Amino acid sequence: MSTRTGTRGLACGLAVLAAALAGCGEGGRTAGQAAPAASEAPPKAEAPRSGSGEIWAIDPQAGRDAASAAAALTAFAWGMQVVVIDGDSVYFGLKRAAARPGAGGARSVRLSDSLEATLTPAGEHVTLAFSNGQEVAMQRRRAPHVRGR
Amino acid sequence: MYTMKSLAALLSLLAPALAPAATVVEFDADHAALVYHKAASQHLDLRAAARTLQAYQFAPNFDKPEVLERLLGELEAEFEQVDPAQEFRIEITRDQVKEYDHERGEFSVGMFEQGSYVPFSAFGQHYMMVMANAEGSRAIRMPREEARALDETLRATGRQVRTEIHFRIIGSGDPAGAVQARRGSNQHVVRAEVLAARLLEPRSGRPLHTLAVVPVGQEPAATAAPARPAIPPLSAANAEIGGLRVGVPAATLKQLLESVYGPVQQRSAPQDTDPRIVAQLELDPLACRGLPGRQNHAGTVCVTALVDKDDVVRAIKVERLFPRIEFEALRTALVARYGATVSGEPGELAWGPVVEPRLLVRRPGEHALTATVIPVRSGTAGSAAQLHNVQLVLADAAWANGGR
- B177/A20 touch (CB, cutoff 8 Å), yes or no: no
Does pLDDT of B225 surpass 80?
no
The model's pTM is: 0.57
User: What value of ipTM does the predicted structure carry?
Assistant: 0.70
Does pLDDT of B282 surpass 90?
yes
Taking the C-alpha atoms of B312, B317, B320 and B324 in order, what is their torsion angle to the nearest 10 degrees? 160
> A71-110 burial, b if ≥16 CB within 10 A, otherwise e?
bbbbbbbbbbbbbbbbeebbbbbbbbbebeeeeeebbbbe
- Three-state secondary structure string covering chain A: CHHHHCHHHHHHHHCCCCCCCCCCCCCCCCCCCCCCCCCCCCCCCCCCCCCCCEEEEECCCCCCCHHHHHHHHHHHHCCCCEEEEECCEEEECCEEEECEECHHHCEEEECCCCCEEEEEEECCEEEEEECCCCEEEEEEECCCCCCCC
Quick one: pLDDT at residue B385? 74
- A24/B339 touch (CB, cutoff 8 Å), yes or no: yes
Tell me: the pLDDT tens digits for B194-215? 999 999 998 888 999 999 998 8
CB-nearest partner of B333 from A12, A20, A74: A74
- Residue B393: which of B366, B371, B363, B365 has the closest Cα? B371
Residue numbers of A between 17 and 56 with CB closer than 8 Å to B? 17-38, 40-43, 45, 47-51, 55
In chain B, the residue whose alpha carbon lies closest to the alpha carbon of A111 is B337
Instruction: Give percent of chain B with pLDDT exceeding 70.
Output: 83
- Cα–Cα dist A60/A70, whole Å: 14
Question: What single DSSP character describes residue B79?
Answer: H
Optimal mutation site among B259, B283, B296, B317, interface A, most CBs of chain A within 10 A? B259
Stretches where chain A sits below pLDDT 50 are 1-42, 149
Tell me: the pLDDT tens digits for B329-372? 888 888 888 877 775 566 678 888 777 766 766 555 678 888 88
Is the pLDDT higher at B88 or at B217?
B88
Question: Quick one: pLDDT band at residue B237, thresholds 50, 70, 90?
Answer: low
Does pLDDT of B278 surpass 80?
yes
- What is the mean predicted confidence (pLDDT) over B19-36? 83
Chain B residues whose beta carbon lies within 8 Å of the beta carbon of residue A57: 299
Does pLDDT of B229 surpass 50?
no
Chain B: closest CA distance from residue A37 (Å): 6
Does pLDDT of B15 surpass 50?
no
Quick one: pLDDT at residue A35? 28
Per DSSP, helices labelled H in B141-240 are: 144-156, 219-222
Tell me: the pLDDT tens digits for B160-183? 899 999 999 999 888 877 777 776
Residues facing B70 on adjacent strands: none
The mean of the pLDDT values for chain B is 82
Chain A residues whose beta carbon lies within 8 Å of the beta carbon of residue B345: none
- A24/B27 touch (CB, cutoff 8 Å), yes or no: no
Quick one: pLDDT at residue B77? 94
Q: Which amino acid is at B78?
A: E
- Cα–Cα dist B346/A5, whole Å: 21
- Residue B309: which of B334, B277, B267 has the closest Cα? B277
Least confident of B49-58, B139-148, B223-232, B352-361: B223-232
- What is the mean predicted confidence (pLDDT) over B41-45? 90
Does pLDDT of B8 surpass 60?
no
Tell me: the pLDDT tens digits for B239-248? 789 889 888 8
Question: Quick one: pLDDT band at residue B384, thresholds 50, 70, 90?
Answer: low
Rg of chain B's alpha carbons, rounded to an integer?
24
Residues facing B348 on adjacent strands: B372
